[in-house]
């Protein structure tokens, strides 16, 4: 067993949280956390440990006016902006939205006090939920996003909530990357090792890390590189996986752009093509029934990705450009695979207001390129959140 040492987290230097406006019970009611740092961390990882602890957020739900106990942690997240924007998972935020009336969302960063927290938006295809903490007296410590590695890095640093007020700061290996590789001979989600990189056109869509990242409220726990940048968020723990790969995470390349977009827009109103694609996005390894034309495309040509434009909404900018039944193989220069949700996330994150996007279709036995200018989802759908949730019905949410 690795020996550990305890230290008092430098809250004053890293976070100054304002309790003004919160219920009286939220002010100074919590004892300071015992932060336990693994002795086997490198010097760079020890510097990152402070960042990891100060910017890791623990969530709890509790009635209005009641501060959760110090040990409560139903999920985790990470502070991603100086004004208190926090990234967590879409699944957790859906649970919060389904809570009974009178139940509020609370959050604490590092060993700060519990604060009332407001849900901002969910981006289902990025597995992302975004909330905002209260106004602080000074800018908050926050973690910038890293670029997802193309090879597994040796270790990531995590601040894991334990029993009571204890928080363990540990390092755990990145066992493998997961990537969607439409050029691999068949559409699949592939794993890589340290001596093998994703192919050209492949998108890194997942990380597998050790069980050291699992703890109370593991969902949403941020993973930090040794330079203090956030490399991804924990989605969950798979008990059937071996220890080094027990924890699955979504990489920063998928969630980072959507945090920036939601921050800029003040909510979730993505640019959209107004097209429903089949097959619907599904979890990796789930059985997928392909439409007949798409199955023929993948089995008889060099095209290994693609999706069918099943329906176009009434105000779709694609009307007269795409037709129901069209096969779409690329969007914005990225291979598009209908059943892989992260392909939807990466494609839509690159859309820009008023800028036409190249969409590659398969017509008459060959590729054909058209251009479509995406528009805001609110101009297409009465209920943007409801429409997006319909697209995610096959995901583990």
Distance CA 387, CA 149 (A): 33
Quick one: pLDDT at residue 16?
Answer: 25
| 139 close to 82: Cβ distance less than 8 angstroms | yes
Q: Roughly how many angstroms between the first and final C-alpha of the chain, as a whole number?
A: 35
Rounded to two decimals, what is the model's pTM?
0.85
Give the DSSP letter string of 179-245: EE-TTSSS--EEEE-TT--PPTT-EEEEEEE-GGG-SBT-TT-EEE-TTS-EEEEEEEE-TTS-GGG
The distance of Cα 174 from the centroid of its chain, to the nearest Å, equals: 17
Cβ neighbours of residue 55 closer than 8 Å, sequence gap 6 or more = 78, 79, 109, 110, 141, 142, 143, 222
Instruction: Delineate the domains of the chain, giving CATH numbers in brackets.
Output: 4-27+40-143 (2.40.10.10), 155-261 (2.40.10), 271-391 (2.30.42.10)
Cβ neighbours of residue 350 closer than 8 Å, sequence gap 6 or more = 257, 332, 334, 357
Question: Residue 178: which pLDDT band, with cuts at 50, 70 and 90?
Answer: confident
**Cα–Cα distances in Å, from 133 out to 56, 77, 354?**
13, 12, 32
Per-residue pLDDT tens digits for 280-308: 888 877 888 999 999 999 999 988 889 99
Distance CA 11, CA 50 (A): 10
Quick one: pLDDT at residue 239?
Answer: 82
Q: Which of 258, 292, 38, 280 is nearest to 145 (CA)?
A: 258
Quick one: pLDDT at residue 194?
Answer: 57
Residue 17: CB atoms within 10 Å: 22
pLDDT at 187 over 60: no
Q: Which of 126, 334, 305, 321 is nearest to 232 (CA)?
A: 126
| 89 close to 66: Cβ distance less than 8 angstroms | no
**Cα–Cα distances in Å, from 255 out to 11, 36, 159?**
27, 29, 19
Question: Residue 388: which pLDDT band, with cuts at 50, 70 and 90?
Answer: confident
pLDDT at 21 over 90: no
pLDDT at 9 over 90: no
Residue 192 CB-half CA count within 13 A = 23
| Residues 103-129, mean pLDDT to the nearest whole number | 92
Quick one: pLDDT at residue 151?
Answer: 75
Distance CA 60, CA 71 (A): 10
Residues across the chain: 397
Quick one: pLDDT at residue 136?
Answer: 80
Quick one: pLDDT at residue 18?
Answer: 25
Q: Report the percent of the chain where pLDDT is more than 90.
A: 57
Distance CA 280, CA 276 (A): 9
Q: Roughly what angle, to the nearest 10 degrees, separates helices 252-265 and 341-349?
A: 50
The chain-wide mean pLDDT, for the chain, equals: 85
pLDDT at 350 over 50: yes
Structure tokens at 211: 């069980």
| Residues 145-154, mean pLDDT to the nearest whole number | 79
Q: Report the percent of the chain where pLDDT is more than 70.
A: 86
pLDDT at 24 over 50: no
Per-residue pLDDT tens digits for 49-74: 999 999 999 999 988 888 888 778 88
Residue 309: CB atoms within 10 Å: 22
Question: Residue 5: which pLDDT band, with cuts at 50, 70 and 90?
Answer: very low
CA 123, 147, 59, 2 torsion-angle sign = positive
The DSSP 8-state label assigned to residue 16 in this structure reads -
Cβ neighbours of residue 334 closer than 8 Å, sequence gap 6 or more = 201, 203, 343, 346, 347, 350
Distance CA 95, CA 382 (A): 23
| 30 close to 67: Cβ distance less than 8 angstroms | yes
| 98 close to 113: Cβ distance less than 8 angstroms | no
Quick one: pLDDT at residue 182?
Answer: 63
Residue 19: CB atoms within 10 Å: 18
């Amino acid at each position: 067993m690795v020996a550990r040492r305890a230290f008092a987290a430098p809250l004053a230097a890293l976070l100054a949280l304002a309790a003004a406006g919160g219920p009286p019970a939220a002010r100074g009611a919590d004892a300071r956390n015992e932060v336990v740092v693994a002795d086997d961390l490198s010097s760079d990882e020890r510097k990152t440990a402070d960042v990891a602890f100060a910017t890791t957020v623990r969530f709890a739900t509790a009635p209005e006016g009641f501060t959760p106990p110090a040990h409560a942690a139903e999920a985790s997240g990470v502070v991603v902006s100086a004004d208190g924007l926090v990234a967590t998972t879409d699944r957790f935020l859906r649970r919060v939205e389904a809570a009974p009336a009178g139940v509020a969302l609370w959050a604490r960063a590092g060993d700060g006090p519990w604060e009332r927290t407001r849900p901002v938006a969910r981006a289902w295809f990025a597995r992302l939920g975004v909330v905002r903490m209260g106004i602080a007296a000074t800018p908050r410590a926050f973690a910038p996003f890293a670029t997802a590695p193309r090879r597994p890095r040796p270790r990531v640093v995590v601040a894991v909530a334990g029993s009571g007020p204890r928080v363990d700061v540990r390092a755990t290996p990145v066992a493998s990357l997961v990537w969607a590789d439409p050029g691999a001979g068949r559409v699949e989600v592939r794993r890589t090792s340290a001596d093998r990189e994703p192919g050209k056109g492949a998108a890194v869509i997942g990380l597998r890390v050790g069980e050291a990242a699992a703890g109370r409220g593991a969902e949403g726990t941020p993973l930090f590189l040794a330079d203090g940048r956030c490399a991804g968020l924990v989605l969950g723990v798979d008990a059937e996986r071996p220890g080094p790969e027990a924890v699955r995470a979504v990489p920063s390349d998928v969630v980072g752009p959507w945090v920036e977009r939601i921050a800029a827009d003040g909510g979730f109103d993505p640019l959209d093509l107004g097209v429903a694609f089949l097959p619907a996005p599904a979890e990796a390894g789930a059985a997928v029934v392909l439409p007949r034309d798409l199955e023929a495309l993948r089995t008889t040509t060099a095209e290994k990705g693609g999706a069918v434009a099943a329906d176009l909404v009434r105000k779709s900018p694609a009307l007269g450009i795409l037709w129901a039944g069209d096969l779409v193989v690329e969007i914005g220069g990225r291979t598009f695979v209908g059943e892989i949700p992260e392909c939807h996330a990466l494609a839509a994150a690159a859309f820009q207001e008023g800028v036409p996007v190249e969409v590659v279709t398969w017509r008459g036995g060959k590729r054909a390129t058209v251009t479509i200018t995406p528009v805001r989802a609110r101009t297409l759908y009465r209920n943007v959140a409801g429409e997006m949730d319909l697209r995610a019905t096959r995901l583990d949410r």
